[in-house]
């Protein structure tokens, strides 16, 4: 049994220690907002926050995050930054197909948790591991700036 704090709830998971966190979240806990993209930690669709830092859940064994705080897209709106980021996403109509957006939002939340006034370069660096096949990068950057303004 592996114990995780997922979205503020202690969870006992009966999974193999090498099970990727992504599959523990999706298959065991039924938290399907975190998406499978590439399985190689290259696209960012599976991004969750572990102790507040973005992490690619497809490549992290669940044993590596045992006892740590995991936040998924399902709970990001329970914190002010998450609410503000999601509101900016809606206001600027960021989403096109939407598949990558949970990972994008999680990375944006992590950025704004550390830097309330990010420059374009800060945003590009923080978001560089998140791919969007629809190429909504300009809207993503604008939404992060919009959220930053709302947080000041």
Please tell me the class of the 76-151 domain: mainly alpha
Q: Which positions ≥6 away from 37 have C-beta within 8 Å?
A: 43, 44, 45, 46, 58, 99, 100, 103, 131
* The dihedral formed by the CA atoms of 108, 111, 114 and 116, expressed in degrees to the nearest 10: -70
The pLDDT of residue 81: 97
The pLDDT of residue 152: 84
Per-residue pLDDT of the chain (152 residues; tens, 9 = 90+): 999 999 999 999 999 999 999 999 999 999 999 999 999 999 999 999 999 999 999 999 999 999 999 999 999 999 999 999 999 999 999 999 989 999 999 999 999 999 999 999 999 999 999 999 999 999 999 999 999 999 98
The pLDDT of residue 80: 96
In this structure, are residues 95 and 37 in contact, taking their beta carbons and an 8 Å threshold? no
Closest residue by Cα to residue 31 from 41, 21, 40: 21
Answer yes or no: CATH 3.10.20.30 is held by domain 2-71: yes
Q: Please identify which residue in the block is written with the tokens 């900016």.
A: 88
In this structure, are residues 40 and 56 in contact, taking their beta carbons and an 8 Å threshold? no
> Would you kindly state where each structural domain of the chain is located, as residue ranges?
2-71, 76-151
Closest residue by Cα to residue 85 from 10, 1, 150, 15: 150
* Interatomic CA distance for residues 4 and 134, integer angstroms: 34
The pLDDT of residue 121: 97
């Amino acid at each position: 049994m592996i114990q995780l704090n997922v979205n503020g709830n202690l969870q006992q998971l009966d999974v193999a220690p090498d099970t990727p966190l992504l599959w523990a979240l999706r298959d065991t806990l039924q938290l399907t907002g975190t998406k499978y993209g590439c399985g190689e930690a290259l696209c960012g669709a599976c991004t969750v926050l572990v102790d507040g830092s973005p992490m690619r859940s497809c490549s992290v064994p669940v044993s590596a995050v045992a006892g740590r705080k995991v936040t998924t897209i399902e709970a990001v709106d329970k914190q002010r930054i998450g609410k503000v980021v999601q509101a900016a996403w809606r206001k600027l109509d960021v989403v096109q197909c939407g598949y990558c957006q949970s990972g994008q939002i999680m990375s944006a939340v992590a950025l704004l948790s550390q830097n309330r006034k990010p420059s374009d370069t800060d945003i590009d660096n923080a978001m560089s591991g998140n791919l969007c096949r629809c190429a909504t990068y300009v809207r993503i950057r604008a939404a992060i700036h919009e959220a930053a303004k709302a947080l000041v």
